[in-house]
C-alpha cells in the first residue's frame, strides 16, 4: 500500500476534517494515531477503524494542555519509536461563541474574554503545543512532516468571526515561521485547507438549503493528505494547498519537478 510503514498523528480525528484525513491515511496503508480529548467518543472512533482491519490507535490528547500533549508524545515514542507525520487539525468554531453566527453575526466587542481565550487555546495555542512537543522527535530523527490545517483568508477577516478568524490567522502565521525554523533540520511544514465551507459540525443549523448544497464534503481533504504523507512529497515544504484545487496543484507540482526527482 502507498503509505505502508508511515506513522501518522491526526489531532481532532473523531469527526469532520480530522476523521476524513485519518480515514484516507488509514486506507492508504498508514498507521494512524487517532487523537482527541479522552473519552468514549475517541475510543469508539478508533474501534470503528480497527474493526475494518485498519491500523488505527486511539491517542488521548487535549491540545490545550502541555502535560496532556507531552504525555501523548511519550506514549508514541515508547510504542512506535518515532513518528513520520503530524497533522494539526483540532479546532473549535464560531458555534461555541455565537450559535447563530451566520444569521446574526456579532461584533468583536460582544465576545467575552473567556470565549475568545477558549477558541485561541484550541485553534492556535494547541497547534503550537503539539508542534513544540513533536518537533524534538523529528529533529532527533532528522526528518518529519507537519501539516497544519487552515482556512480561506476571506474567513479570517469576515465580519462577526472573532475569535475564530484571528485564531486561524495566527495558526497560519505560526506555520510559516515553523517552516523556516525547521528547514535546517530536514523537517517540512505545509498548510492544507478545504477551500470552502465543509459539511462539518462547525456549520450553523440555520444555514439556508441553497448554501448547504454548495458545501464541500470533508472527504476533499483525503487525496492531498495522502500525497503529503507519501514519498512523492519528500522535501516539499512551505506550500499552502487548497484541497478542492488539489488536482491542479498536483499537475503543476509534477510538471515543475526535476526529471527523476
Active site residue 164: yes
Given a contact cutoff of 8 angstroms between Cβ atoms, the answer to whether 221 and 10 are in contact is: no
* DSSP assignment letter at 150: -
CB 16 within 8 A of CB 201: yes
Place of cell 448544497: 213
CA distance 37 to 96: 17
- 236: helix, strand or coil: coil
Using CA atoms, how far apart are residues 192 and 87, in angstroms rounded to an integer? 10
How many angstroms separate the CA atoms of 201 and 97, rounded?
A: 14
How far apart, in whole angstroms, are the C-alpha atoms of residue 166 and residue 186? 30
From CA 63, how far away is CA 60, in angstroms rounded?
A: 10
Question: Which cell is 112 given?
Answer: 467575552
Residue 130's closest CA among 113, 147, 110, 155? Answer: 147
Q: Determine which one of 164, 198, 202, 218 is catalytic.
A: 164
If 0-12 CB within 10 Å is exposed, 13-18 middle and 19+ buried, where does residue 141 land?
middle
Give residue 242's region: left, alpha or beta (phi > 0; psi -120 to 50). beta
Three cell numbers, residue 150: 487552515
**Residues acting as catalytic residues:** 164
Amino acid at each position: 500500500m502507498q503509505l505502508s510503514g508511515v506513522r501518522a498523528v491526526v489531532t481532532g480525528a473523531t469527526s469532520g476534517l480530522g476523521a476524513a484525513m485519518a480515514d484516507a491515511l488509514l486506507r492508504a496503508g498508514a498507521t494512524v494515531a487517532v487523537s482527541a480529548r479522552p473519552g468514549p467518543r475517541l475510543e469508539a472512533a478508533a474501534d470503528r477503524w480497527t474493526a475494518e482491519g485498519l491500523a488505527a490507535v486511539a491517542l488521548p490528547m487535549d491540545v490545550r494542555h502541555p502535560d496532556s500533549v507531552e504525555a501523548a508524545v511519550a506514549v508514541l515514542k515508547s510504542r512506535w519509536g518515532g513518528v513520520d507525520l503530524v497533522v494539526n487539525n483540532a479546532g473549535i468554531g464560531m458555534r461555541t461563541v455565537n450559535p447563530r453566527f451566520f444569521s446574526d453575526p456579532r461584533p468583536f466587542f460582544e465576545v467575552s474574554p473567556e470565549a475568545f481565550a477558549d477558541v485561541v487555546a484550541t485553534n492556535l495555542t494547541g497547534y503550537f503545543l503539539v508542534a513544540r512537543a513533536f518537533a524534538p522527535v523529528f529533529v532527533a530523527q532528522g526528518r518529519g512532516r507537519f501539516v497544519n490545517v487552515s482556512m480561506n483568508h476571506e474567513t479570517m477577516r469576515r465580519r462577526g468571526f472573532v475569535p475564530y478568524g484571528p485564531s486561524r490567522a495566527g495558526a497560519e502565521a505560526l506555520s510559516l515561521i515553523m517552516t523556516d525554523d525547521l528547514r535546517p533540520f530536514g523537517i517540512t511544514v505545509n498548510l492544507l485547507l478545504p477551500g470552502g465551507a465543509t459539511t462539518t459540525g462547525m456549520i450553523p443549523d440555520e444555514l439556508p438549503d441553497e448554501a448547504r448544497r454548495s458545501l464541500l464534503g470533508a472527504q476533499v481533504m483525503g487525496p492531498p493528505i495522502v500525497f503529503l504523507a507519501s514519498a512523492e512529497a519528500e522535501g516539499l515544504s512551505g506550500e499552502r494547498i487548497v484541497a478542492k484545487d488539489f488536482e491542479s496543484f498536483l499537475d503543476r507540482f509534477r510538471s515543475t519537478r526535476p526529471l527523476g526527482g
